[in-house]
Amino acid sequence: MANLNDFKTRLRIAKEKLKSSSRNTDNDGNISSMGSAFKLSTDLVAHVAVGTIIGFILDSWFDTKPWLIIIFFFLGSVAGILNVIKTAQKMQKRD
């Protein structure tokens, strides 16, 4: 019986530990630094590319060439830079 009680306490402690560790924290996990370097570089490029593509599609919809593609190129660049700054801030907070 002592053995069972011992096990019960251990189970309780383990469950509490799990509960406290499984609380969601506001971070990107412990992504390794090389991984986050890959993430930052491709994110910057992808945002600009997606912004430009959206501009191109809207331009051919509304027949407003070349204005929307120019606007969305800059919006995409802004989005990319903002995203990089956000990610970098999160990384700094974690350290």
Partner 1 sequence: MATNPMHQFQVYKIGPEIKIAGIDLSFTNASLFMLLSAFMICVVLFLGTKEKKIIPGKFQLISEMFYNFIAKMINDTAGSKAKPYFPFIFSLFMFVLFCNMLGMLPYSFTVTSHIIVTLLLAIFIFIAVTVIGFLKHGFGYLKLFVPSGVPVVLLPLITVIEIISYLSRPVSLSVRLFANMMAGHTMLKVFGGFVISLGMLGGWLPLGFSVALTGLEILVAFLQAYVFAILTCIYLNDALNLHH
Q: Which residues bind partner 1 (CB under 8 A)?
A: 21-32, 34-35, 38-39, 42-43, 45-47, 49-51, 54, 72, 75-76, 78-80, 82-83
Least CB distance from residue 65 to partner 1, whole Å?
19
Q: Which is nearer to partner 1, 39 or 91 (CB)?
A: 39
Q: Do 81 and 44 touch, CB atoms closer than 8 A? A: yes
Q: Which is nearer to partner 1, 5 or 30 (CB)?
A: 30
Q: Do 72 and 58 touch, CB atoms closer than 8 A? A: yes
Q: Which is nearer to partner 1, 11 or 49 (CB)?
A: 49
Neighbouring C-alpha atoms within 13 Å toward the C-beta of 64:
13
Q: What's the CA dihedral at 9, 10, 16, 20 to 10 degrees?
A: 150
Neighbouring C-alpha atoms within 13 Å toward the C-beta of 11:
6
Least CB distance from residue 53 to partner 1, whole Å?
9
Least CB distance from residue 55 to partner 1, whole Å?
10
